[in-house]
Amino acid sequence: MTITALESIDDDVLNAFNNLIPQLSSSSPVPSKKDLETIINSGNTKLFVVKEGDTILGTLTLIFNKIPTGEKAWIEDVVVSENARGKGVGKLLTQFAVDYALEKGISKIDLTSSPERVAANKLYQKLGFQKRITNVYRYFNNK
């Protein structure tokens, strides 16, 4: 398995995201080619994919933020294809992102995971993430 940061978006990448995103969230739209290009060209976001041969097995987004209290990184949208789960893909991908952030001098790396994703939560704790006591809020503009 190999992990790379996407530098361009082709049909194989689009097809992979069409398959992966619904496995992550049934309520989120699949990103367009333009959406993915905006992400990879943003300068503060890395979109990693893990491949076995030519097949994309999973993806992870790593976002860098410089704020008054320091530099932080967020791991978002971690998803591994259903047929590749249980093979260490998520662990490999998450550890890669952590190592990448640490190499960039970032020592605070956050992520969130729904409580029902039991295997994912266990994985994150095994990799050294500590559960924080905080509230996460989200504002929806329903207009």
CATH architecture under which domain 2-126 falls: 3-Layer(aba) Sandwich (3.40)
Question: How is the chain split into domains, by residue range?
Answer: 2-126
Mean pLDDT, range 75-101, rounded to an integer: 93
Q: Is the pLDDT of residue 143 over 80?
A: no
Under 8 Å between Cβ of 57 and 80: yes
Whole-prediction pTM value?
A: 0.90
Rounded Cα–Cα distance for residues 76 and 120 (Å): 13
Q: How many whole angstroms separate alpha carbon 103 and alpha carbon 75?
A: 15
Quick one: average pLDDT of 14-38? 93
The mean pLDDT value for 102-120 works out to: 91
